[in-house]
Amino acid sequence: MARTSKPLTNTEVKQAKPKEKIYSLSDGNGLQLRVKPNGSKLWLFDYYRPFTKVRTSLSFGRYPEVSLADARGKRKTARELLAKDIDPKEHRDENDLKTERKHANTLQHIAAQWLEVKKSHVSTDHANDTWRSLELHIFPSLGKLGANHQNIIVFG
């Protein structure tokens, strides 16, 4: 039978002092606050991976950037994913990769790559002037658009 633990309070989390060795304070249902000797506090969620049943941990971030309430919300989300046999760590990594790809496919990012190649063929002043023109006239309205966006503008 699983051990039950008393949920942490904000005061307990705030007043957790570093010791010589790393130690953890449990909030229950796999959520822990790991306190390191240097004084940093990290939220971790311990769980078993859905298919391999291997025990692993997922980091939710540092305290106080991630509050006790935020960590509990993330634990709830992770448990909902586990109930659907989705590994929360893999789910987070996939979402991060999608976001990265989406950013790498914007006009502004592609223009920056293009300018790096173009700089070797033009003067520094011309390259700076070109980039400044893009910043002033193009990026405010089109810079965040991706290549798969429906409104494609073709210049003749």
- pLDDT tens, position by position, 60-103: 999 999 999 999 999 999 999 999 999 999 999 999 898 888 77
- Can you give the pLDDT at residue 57? 94
- pLDDT tens profile 22-68: 999 999 999 999 999 999 999 999 999 998 999 999 999 999 999 99
Predicted confidence band of residue 120 (pLDDT cuts 50, 70, 90): confident
CATH 3.30.160.390 in the chain: give the residue spans.
10-85
Give yes or no for a contact between 37 and 21, defined as CB atoms under 8 angstroms apart: yes
Annotate 120-137 with three-state secondary structure: CCCCHHHHHHHHHHHHHH
Q: How confident is the model at residue 3 (pLDDT cuts 50, 70, 90)?
A: low
- Residue 108 burial (10 A CB sphere; 0-12, 13-18, 19+): middle
The DSSP result for 94-110, as a single string, is HHHHHHHHHHHTBHHHH
State the pLDDT confidence band at 146, using cuts at 50, 70 and 90. low
As assigned by CATH, the class of the 10-85 domain is: alpha beta
Q: Calculate the alpha carbon distances from 10 to 55, 93, 129 in Å.
A: 27, 29, 53
